[in-house]
Every structure is written in C-alpha cells, then in structure tokens.
Chain A
Amino acid sequence: MEELDGDPAVTLIPGVNSKKKQMCFDWGPGEMLVCETSFNKKEKSKLVPNCPFIFIIRKDEDVYSQILRKLFNESHGIFVGLQRIEEELTGKSRKAQLVRVSKNYRSVIRACMEEMHQVAIAAKDPASGRQFSSQVSILSAMELIWNLCEILFIEVAPAGPLLLHLLDWVRLHVCEVDSLSADVLGSENPSKHESFWNLGRLDEARQMLSKEADTSPTSAGMCRTLGDLMRTMPILSPGNTQTLTELELKWQHWHEECERHLQDGTFTSSPHLETLCKIMLGDEAALLEQKELLNNWYHFLVTRLLYSHPTVKPMDLHLYAQSSLDLFLGGESSPEPLDNILMAAFEFDIHQVIKECSIALSNWWFVAHLTDLLDHCKLLQSHNLYFGSNMREFLLLEYASGLFAHHSLWQLGVDYFDYCPELGRVSLELHIERIPLNTEQKALKVLRICEQRQMTEQVRSICKILAMKAVRNNRLGSALSWSIRAKDAAFATLVSDRFLMDYCDRGCFSDLDLIDNLGPAMMLSDRLTFLGKYREFHRLYGEKRFVDAASLLLSLMTSQIAPRSFWMTLLTDALPLLEQKQVIFSAEQTYELMRCLEDLTAGRPVRGEPDAQRLQDDDIETTKVEMLRLALARNLARAIIREGSLEGS
C-alpha cells in the first residue's frame, strides 16, 4: 500500500509559549486537555507568569447533530439486519437481497441529505447555513460513490445493462445538483432542456425538435430527419430480449446511417442541428464543446459511452474513464479526491476505493458500512493485517469506538462490536467500563448489556463502582443491592456491618424493604445472612411469634453467624423475651444463653488504665450483664418448673 504522505496539520494554541515552556496533556473520551507547563522540576525562585488556561481540544461537534444521529441510527438498523440475514442469503436471491440492502443504505443517506438541505435553506445565519450545505455536499458525494460501487461491485451489471445503470446514476446526481442548486440560487437552469439529450432522454429532445420544426419551417425537414434518427437509436431497455450481439449489430447500422447523414451534409445549413448529430455519433470534440452543460467528467464519460460504446464491458470502463477524465480536465486542473475515488471504482480496485474514501472523509461511517456490505458480497480478500484482524473488522471497530464517546449513540456501538468476531468482545469490554453512569437507568442498561454477554468482570467492576458511590453517600440500601449484583461478598459484608452499626446507633433499620426481600442473595456473605436473619428476628417479635423469634435469636449465636461484637446486643434483645409472663426459652435454650453470656464476659480483655468514660461504660456493661444473669436465672427456674410439670402429667 503506498504511503499516505503530506504534512500533519498544525494547530496553534493561543497563549502558550512553545519556545520557553512545554505543554502537558491528557486524553479524554471525546476531547483532549492541554495546558502550558514547565517540566523543569526545580522550584523557581521567581515565578514566571504562565498561561493560566487549560485548553479543551475537540473535534467538530457537528457530527452528533440531530440529523446525522438519525443517519447513524437508521444505518445501524440496516447493518444489524444484514448481519442477521447472512445465513439466509443463498443462491440466486442473494445478489438481489444484497442490492436491496445497498439501496436501503443509499436511501438513508438521501433522506439525511434532504433533511440537512432543508435546514441549510432555513438557516438564519450564513455561516451555519454554509456548514450545513457543505455537509449536504459530502453526503451527496457519499451517495454518488456508494451508488457506483453498487452498480459495479454488488449488482455486477454486465455489458448492456451496465450502461443503463450508469445512465441512471448520472441522471440522479445531475438532477440532484440541479435541483439543489436551483433551490439555493433561486433560478432555473436555463439549459435544462438541452441536458435532456445529454442524458439520453431522447424523447424529450425529440419533442423539442418537433416544436422547433413547427416554429421554423426551413429547418423542418432537418428536424424531422434528426428526430427520426433519434427515434431509431437502438438502446437496450430492461426486459428487452435481444442479445448483446444483436444490439451491437443494430447499433452499428444506425451509427453508420448517422455518419452518412453527416457526410452527405444533411444538416450543414443548421450548425446547431449538425452539432446534435455529431454528438449522437459520440464525437468527443463536439461533446467537449458542451462542457458547461456537462457538470463533470463522469457525466461526460457516460454521455460518451451512450453515443459511442453503448455495449461497453465493465472491464473496459476504466480506459474510457481515464480518457474522459483527462479530456474533461484538459490539463487545466488536477483530479480531486472524489475523482480519484471514482476512478478507483472504475478500475475495480475495491481496496483503493476504501483507502481513498478513508482519507477523503474523516469519518469512519461510510467506509465501515460499505466495506461490511462488500464483505458480505465476498469481495474482500481476507487482507490480513498484522494485528490479526481484517479490513472490515478494523473499520467497524474504529467506527464503533467513536460512537462510545457519545452519551446515547454508544448503544449502537455495542451491536457493531458484537459482529466483530476477533476483537469485538475485548473492545466492548474496554469501552463499556468507561461509560459514565450518571443515572440509575443508564447503569442498568449497561449492566444488562454486560450480563447478556457474560462479561462478569465488567459487571462486577461497574457494580462495585456504584456500590462504593452509594456507600460514600450513605445510601446503604443502594450499596447493598449493588454489592449483591456484583456478587462481591467482601463488600456486602462491609455494607451489612454498616447497617448493623446504623441499627445500634439509631435503634431501627433503614431500607427494610430491601433486607426483608433478600431471598437467596442472603447467602452471599455471612454478615449479610446475619443481617437478614436478624431482621427476621425483629419481624417475628413484631408478629408476637415469640417462640420462633427466640429460637432464631439463639441460633444466630450458636451457629456463629452473629459477629462476636454483636452478641451483647442480641442478648439484650433477649431480655424482653425472658421477662415475658409465659416461659419462652426452654431450659435447654436458657443454658445455651447462659453459656454465651459467660463466653462473652470471659473473653473480655482486661482493661488498661481506666478513665472516667471507661468506668462509666464499664458500669453500664456490668449492670447489663447482671441484669441478664438475673433474667436468665429466673427464666431457667420457671422453665425447669414448667418442663418438670409437663413431664409429670
């Protein structure tokens, strides 16, 4: 591949003195930060005033304008549709379906173009009007290129139909330019009627001729002859059953007849009609004289082909194209990027087309979608690039990556990554983590996408980020649910601890709904299980199901689920149960409770230097312990009596 040469563009940053200072920068998802700095890390004794600004460098924003967004959205639909029907595309209908997809893409471009054109006309200030108009131009060029690619590569029109397609192609764009420019200029193209014959619409031309014949009797005869010639010009029409050879023969005869008329001087008295005849013979000089009516070299090319080589073969197109280009430019100007792209297409050099388009258009949209379509037509060799991917994937990846910088278009990007078998997944993994999650809705959307693709690490990371944010903002319920979704046991433990601390401080739970409905998620961590069960204890107590509550409470301690630090609280919770009129804890259970209490008090480390606060705390502790001991003892007594008597009876 030949080198892309040319000098890089230079952008000047105002206020930064590159001779004395340096610049530092940082890349962001959609923009770049630049500021002046000094890498000289020695503290300066006198501060030289610096440029105090940070510059944000960004590409043109217009790419995400409303109208283009529609283009991206709709083409995304077509793209996904194409990938999905790939398996079904077989046999004869395959080509027809691919052509249909191509036409869909083009109609989307045209719709976008039309809309932007309307905006351009309606624009209040001339600068933005110009900007929109330039966008329209670019879209028009894209459609032009795509259309040609469709004819040559997808439709693969053979000699004969090829010319008809090319005629349509040129007509579409000439009329477009005319109508667009007419709108903008507000005037009618005065030579429109002459352009009819330019495009082979000979019927209309004949009508003009007959009108002329009526008005000027002297040239009536010539007009009629010319009109006849026009009428009898053999062209291939769709549905025509003649073979190419037949057509060629007929055409040859007709051509000779025209030639004869010219030689015989039939039209000498009217130079205007003579020119017309010459043109119909495909005389290049005559055609070139009408240069102003021919907008561009490919218009010239097709006209020329129409009148001199209507049965041109696809293989030979490039020869005529090159010479048309040369003749039309006439050495006065050099070909422009669009010209080069079209030439590459005529030469059937697909890779060159894609490459030139990539250079000429600073957007990946066009080349990504076109290449993908051509790939489905099996036209791209697996042009393996060193990093193991291929051209189609490379372009799609680049396009999709760009979408991720946008706050809503990123969702389209996901699908494009999905259809890149080599690097799509890993690219998606990297991009999706960076999406800023400003709203819960967006976060859920992102998570759903990750979960659908089993991107467990990304799910974990995103949930962790959200859980952490929630904890910092003291939204414990939210933090808990994110940790559960992240399956992050450690963090769930942490949040549960916070809940418990909260309870100790305030005497009640926050986010009861969440805790009540944990379900199997409770198993994620011991602490979480404890939290859930503890809450259940409170619920049972509230429902006055004291016996169940009591057993649960005990089991929490004996099963070691409850953290040691919480035992005192649990035992204190047991107090009201012990004080009830009826006996709730059995003797067995009471023994257990006693053991827990002793365990707890025995394990108390010997306090160091007691200070006033400590003494006070100790006092409270001691009182509590004593109360518990008393309550337990009393309960034990009652329990033994009760159990004794039951057994007795």
Chain B
Amino acid sequence: FDFHGRRMATCSSDQSVKVWDKSESGDWHCTASWKTHSGSVWRVTWAHPEFGQVLASCSFDRTAAVWEEIVGESNDKLRGQSHWVKRTTLVDSRTSVTDVKFAPKHMGLILATCSADGIVRIYEAPDVMNLSQWSLQHEISCKLSCTCISWNPSSSRAHSPMIAVGSDDSSPSAMAKVQIFEYNENTRRISVEEFIPRRTSSSLGAKEVHLEEDLYDKKLVLIMLMYLTIFFSANYMDNWKCTGILKGNGSPVNGSSQQGNSNLSLGSNIPNLQNSLNGSSAGRYFFTPLDSPRAGLRWSSHTQLLPPPPPLPPLVEHSCDADTASLQYPHPRRRYLSQPLNPLPENEGV
C-alpha cells in the first residue's frame, strides 16, 4: 500500500511491476504495468508522498531501480492509465538485491538496499527534485546473506538513524538473525546489535523484519516474521494474543477474478480487524449465532505507529499450528562503540 492506502504496488517473478488505484467506489484498477528488471522482482516499495509518486524496486538481476510517475496525456487519464519512468538504476550490488526500503521522510530522500552477498547499501538523493542523482553514502557488510530490511520509523530526536537487517543464512557457521545498525551522527560511526531467536530448528530464517516504535512508551519493538502462515495479534490492555490465523487451503482458485469482496471478507471469522456491531455467540434472543467471539482484541492500525502489530510469534515449522513457546532474546552483543539502544522488550506477552 502507499502512504494513504489508496494505491497498491505489486511485483512479481514475471519481472514486472504493477500499480493499482482504488476508485471512489472501492474497486481496484490496474493503472500501470511495465517490465522493470531482467530478473524476478523481489520487492517494491513506495516513497513518502512528500517526494511525489515514487517507487523503488529490487531484483534478482542485481539491480535496484527508482521509478517516478509522470503525468500523462489526457487520453491516458481518461483511459485510467499512468506512466512510470525509470529515474535511476543502482548497480553496485554483485548479487541479487533482496530488499529495498526508503528511510523515514525526516531523514530526506534516502534508500537502503540489501543483497544476497550480505551488503547493505544506503543511498541518498541530495536534490529531491532530481531523482536521477543518487550517491552511495554507506556500505555495510553484514557477513551474512540478507533477506530483509526495516528502518526505524521514529522521528524523534532521541533516536538516531537505525536500520534492521534480517538474514536467513542457513550455513552451519551462521545463524538466522537480525542485526540492527545505528548511525551515530556525532562520531560518524555505525554500531551494530544482533538478535537471535532461540529456536532456530527450522531453517526458515528471517523473511520479514519490522522495526516499530511503541507509541506508548517509546520503546522500539522488533518484529520478525518467520513462518508460513500469517498471524494476527492484538493488544488488549497490554497482553498480546494471537487473534487470527490466515492460511491457504491449497484448493485451486476458480476462474473469476474477485473484484467484489463477499467471498473473501472475513466476516465473523476474524471479527476484529475493524469495528463492527456483530455480536458473539448465540444469546437466546439478543445475539444471533456467529462464530468465535473474539471481540475486543483489536488489530492496531496500519500506520504501524500505534500499539505495535504482531510481535514475535514463535517459529513455526511446516504446520500451521501456533506454537506458544516464547521467543527469547539473548542479551544483545555489541560489536562497536555505540550509544545504547533502547532496551528491547524481552518477552513481550507472547
């Protein structure tokens, strides 16, 4: 989703990126589709709208690219199509680029990429009106194949620029872990802290990583996604509980495209993504029978800045059952001199 939730970008191993717009009536229309790379496109991400309509993509072809939407001719507008042009290609990586993310807007127009050879690169465009000029500001070696990155979204002065990098390196000497790099503007040095989940019996490794700021007490929460299904958790008065599970049923899809949502809306199954007046199980006269009364546990909003979304659910192997063993963090090991990171919660209600 873009910042406002009105546009969506998708990328695929067919080497293309598609952009979809949501109309007033709530339908999604594909307004652009174009070939972006010469290999599978792993990720696509939006820049903050303060910089305009800008996307970045990264691919197996060892490059990352920055795209900008240009206002087309009126014919195109009528047909509901828009055009995206490539502003720059970042070719520094020697291996597949596995993730690309823009930094929070208060840092300027900054982009980070990570590659399969374990190098994280940070680029900056000094002139936000000229997206073809990017300079490589930092190259960080993680010593592990990287799969995902996440910037610390906090804009408060207390936090210096910080980025989390996840890895799923399954070589025997390495372990799946997440590293957090922090840039100290005074000393101009980058420090790193590591987090290793205790149960690493599965070789899934970190597939997604998110750094979120806990609104209430300003702590940073690190979230890793390491499983095959998606869990929701919600916070009812500071207790995290899993409130829903989405999983594939493996059945073939029927041919029709599902523009409408009646087939897929969760309805009463996962009652709490949004507000609704559905009640719980049958009262004789006042509640109609519905499944699972899981009300009251509400998913937090997509801004990801209010009480944090899923914290670490436990590692799951190939089954989809929630395993309620907890995830422990060892005391983070420091490698270089740095300011102390805010203490990460050790066992946050899981």
Contact = CB atoms under 8 A, between A and B. Distances in A.
Interface stretch (A17-25, A214-222, A546-554): A17-25
A177 B286 CA distance: 9
B42 A430 contact: no
A346 to B, nearest CB: 17
Interface of B: 1, 3-6, 8, 10, 13, 24, 28, 39-40, 42, 49-53, 60, 69-71, 96, 98, 105, 116, 129, 147, 168, 204, 207-208, 214-217, 228-232, 236-239, 241-254, 257-258, 261, 263-288, 290-298, 300-307, 309, 318, 320, 322
A582 interface: no
Contact of B273 (A10, A32, A134, A404): A32
B248 A21 contact: yes
Contacts of B10: 35, 54
B173 to A, nearest CB: 20
A59 interface: yes
A177 B285 contact: yes
Nearest to B280: A360
B261 A56 contact: yes
Given A360-B287, A360-B293, A436-B4, 7 more contacts: A4-B297, A39-B207, A54-B10, A58-B274, A134-B287, A358-B296, A423-B216
B34 to A, nearest CB: 18
Interface centre among A17, A27, A62, A465, by most chain B C-beta atoms within 10 angstroms, is: A27
Contact of B301 (A16, A60, A404, A435): A404
Interface centre among A28, A394, A464, by most chain B C-beta atoms within 10 angstroms, is: A28
Contact of A18 (B42, B253, B283, B320): B320
B237 A394 contact: yes
B269 to A, nearest CB: 5
Interface string A423-445: 10011001101111110000000
A141 B285 CA distance: 9
A51 B232 CA distance: 22
Contacts of B242: 8
Interface in A337-354: 337-339
23 contacts: A8-B231, A12-B246, A16-B247, A39-B147, A43-B60, A43-B96, A60-B267, A60-B268, A137-B279, A139-B277, A362-B271, A363-B275, A365-B275, A385-B237, A387-B215, A387-B216, A389-B216, A402-B298, A426-B215, A438-B6, A465-B49, A469-B52, A472-B52
B154 to A, nearest CB: 12
A140 interface: yes
A124 interface: no
B220 to A, nearest CB: 15
A271 interface: no
Nearest to A5: B241
Given A385-B238, A436-B4, A141 B286 contact: yes
B55 to A, nearest CB: 14
Contact of A295 (B270, B285, B318): B285
Contacts of A389: 216
User: Can you list the 6 inter-chain pairs with the closest CB atoms, starting with the nearest?
Assistant: A16-B248, A387-B216, A358-B296, A15-B253, A362-B295, A141-B286
B273 A41 contact: no
Nearest to A367: B296
A463 B161 CA distance: 25
A27 B264 contact: no
Contacts of A359: 280, 293-296
Given A387-B216, A434-B3, A23 B287 contact: no
Nearest to B267: A60
Interface centre among A9, A17, A21, A24, by most chain B C-beta atoms within 10 angstroms, is: A9
A161 B282 CA distance: 33
Nearest to A435: B4
Nearest to A389: B216
A24 B208 CA distance: 9
Given A11-B245, A23-B230, A30 B274 contact: yes
A402 B243 CA distance: 17
Contacts of A28: 1, 5, 302
Name the prevailing secondary structure of the A interface residues: mixed
A13 B51 contact: no
A13 B296 CA distance: 24
Interface in A487-535: 494
Contacts of B280: 337, 359-362
B276 A62 contact: yes
B321 to A, nearest CB: 10
Contacts of A472: 52-53, 69-71
Nearest to B147: A41
B312 to A, nearest CB: 16
B274 A4 contact: no
A461 B4 CA distance: 13
Contacts of A391: 237
A177 B284 CA distance: 11
A318 B264 CA distance: 44
B215 to A, nearest CB: 7
Interface centre among A52, A61, A139, A389, by most chain B C-beta atoms within 10 angstroms, is: A61
A36 B230 CA distance: 11
A364 interface: yes
A469 B290 CA distance: 46
Given A19-B250, A387-B217, A336 B275 contact: no
A87 B305 CA distance: 33
Nearest to B97: A41
A133 B294 CA distance: 21
Nearest to A335: B283
A648 interface: no
Contact of A436 (B6, B270, B298): B6
Contacts of A3: 239
Nearest to B236: A4
B98 A41 contact: yes
A465 B50 contact: yes
A337 to B, nearest CB: 5
A397 B6 CA distance: 24
Given A55-B258, A296-B284, A8 B302 contact: no
A367 to B, nearest CB: 8
Contact of A23 (B204, B215, B243, B248): B248
B226 to A, nearest CB: 10
Interface centre among A59, A177, A423, by most chain B C-beta atoms within 10 angstroms, is: A59
A624 B291 CA distance: 84
B45 to A, nearest CB: 10
A385 B69 CA distance: 46
A336 B276 contact: no
